[in-house]
Chains A and B, each alone.
Chain A
Amino acid sequence: MRPSSIRYYFKEGFTGLLKNRLMAVASIATVAACIFIISLSCCIIGNLSSVLKQIEDTIGIAVFLDDNLDSEKINTISDELKAIPHVTMVTYISPEEALDSLKEEWQADDILDGFDGENNPLSHSFEVSLEGIEYQSDVLKGIEGISGIRNVRHAQSETQILLKLNKVLSIVGIAIVAILSIISVVIIMNTIKISVYTRRTEINIMKFVGATDWFIRWPFIIEGVLIGLLGASIPMAVSWPLYTKIVELIYQYFPVIKGIATLLDGYVIFSKLIPVSLIFGVLLGVFGSVSSIHKHLRV
């Protein structure tokens, strides 16, 4: 490939876009609209699964110990709990702390008035946090083997619901993004096909003056890359600030949400979404162009 040819490819790629402005704009707009919708779905799905995860993280296992254990035994139990696989954190809660939080929760001092100091009916306990709720039953089995434990409490039905939601969300999320992607590919390929169709005479002439297939393809590939890049940059430039604004509005109008979970920061989503969209856009542009001119090359 001569340097003069490379210059030619780029010049033709850029001027091709400018001289076929109408079709170029149509292609870019199609790519942009599709990627915008896909990125919007990613934002929604990403946040739903993040919120779900945060709720899951609050679900731990409460372990209540037998009465009259000395502090050495309590420490041993703590170490044994920590040694169980998939346990991330073990927090010791003394009877005094438990009583305080109970009082706070009930807001009715008079009922619990008689209980304090020596006269505390609550027992020593541990809050066990897990890597994920899917490990709950494994960890429970591990706890069974430890002596000195009076009672174990966990939120079984909530866990089941969350596990199901998690599964449904990931399936639905993948399905939505996959379907949108396929639809986008079809629409974008058609748009580019029309744009190449209007230039079939040009391709035909190139063939008759002895142009090789690759000589004809390169400018179209460069055009495809440009269409893809522009088509992906526009929705990214729009949807990041838009997302930030929407999160702000949600916090403003539904402050309740703050208590349950925090929404994802724009950076977390878009640091992944931007490179993926750009690559997706470029691949679409190139694949669309190359496959559309293929038919016209057979002269």
Chain B
Amino acid sequence: MIKVENVTKVYPNGAEGVKDVSIHIEKGEFVFFIGSSGSGKSTLIKLLMKELNPTDGQIVINNINTTRMKRSKIPFLRRNLGIVFQDFRLLATKTVYENVAFAMQVIESPSSQIRRNIPTVLSLVGLQDKAKAYPNQLSGGEQQRTALARAIVNNPPILIADEPTGNLDPDTAWDIMCLLEEINKRGTTVVVATHAKNIVDAMQKRVVTLKDGHIIRDVRKGGYSDEA
């Protein structure tokens, strides 16, 4: 599903984001990327969603080599990826319903399908009663649920979450992680970059640890504190 092969990213200022990183993620896996700030996990996530281009090496997502991809094709790559950010990135001028509908309008889904799918996905994330609310009327957890609903409404094969719980209190963070696990159980490959030590420990998923741009550890059922 995701193949990262010998990828190096050097920023224009000379800083190295990741160095010679290789990683394979199978369909249906749930993977944590962990590591301190500057370890390269954000760089890796950005490379996966093609916000950045690798300096060297190649990345294959869903059998598409994204390394030498035309700019005009990027939107179609991103339609395979549900993306969730730490800062939610909701459109402040749109309601919860509209924010989710937006993701479907973008890929030009017919209106009938939009009307059918959104109530389903909103109830999946537990926001069926908040459809008409605007982001500033929601709690952080609710905003992240909205972002999650938006990320999965088009049924992407892969969900990428960059610090999805970074702005949330521990209880809410736990709820969001459970939701991610739920989504994973429905067959979506889930990649999560996080700092949330307790959650990583509790969930016992595959954990990839990065340090100074290298992968220093990759365990099947691991925790945050196993060694590092």
Contacts and interface: CB of A to CB of B under 8 A. Distances in A.
A211 B110 contact: no
Interface string B143-159: 00000001000100000
A201 interface: yes
B105 A5 contact: yes
A211 B111 contact: no
A215 B110 contact: no
B93 interface: yes
A209 B83 CA distance: 7
A4 B111 contact: yes
Contact of B72 (A19, A208, A211, A213): A213
B93 A210 contact: no
A206 B107 CA distance: 11
Contacts of A15: 93
Interface stretch (B74-82, B164-172, B213-221): B74-82
A256 interface: no
A206 B77 CA distance: 14
Nearest to A4: B111
Nearest to A8: B105
Chain A interface category by residue count: 20 to 34
A211 B77 CA distance: 10
B124 to A, nearest CB: 18
A8 B110 CA distance: 11
B93 A19 contact: yes
Contact of A208 (B89, B93, B105, B108): B89
Interface string A176-206: 0000000000000000000000000110111
B127 to A, nearest CB: 18
A19 B102 CA distance: 17
A208 B76 contact: no
Nearest to B83: A208
A57 B170 CA distance: 89
A15 B102 CA distance: 14
A242 B75 CA distance: 51
**How many of chain B's residues touch chain A, expressed as a range?**
20 to 34
Contact of A204 (B76, B89, B150): B89
A272 interface: no
B64 to A, nearest CB: 13
B89 A201 contact: yes
B49 interface: yes
Interface in A245-299: 299
B103 A209 contact: yes
B203 interface: no
Contacts of A244: none
B106 interface: yes
Interface of B: 49, 51, 72, 75-79, 81, 83, 89-91, 93, 102-103, 105-108, 110-111, 150, 154
18 contacts: A4-B108, A4-B111, A19-B93, A202-B91, A202-B93, A204-B89, A205-B90, A206-B102, A207-B75, A208-B49, A208-B78, A208-B89, A209-B78, A209-B83, A209-B106, A212-B72, A215-B75, A215-B106
The 8 closest A-B CB pairs, nearest first, are: A210-B79, A210-B78, A211-B106, A209-B103, A212-B75, A210-B75, A19-B93, A4-B111
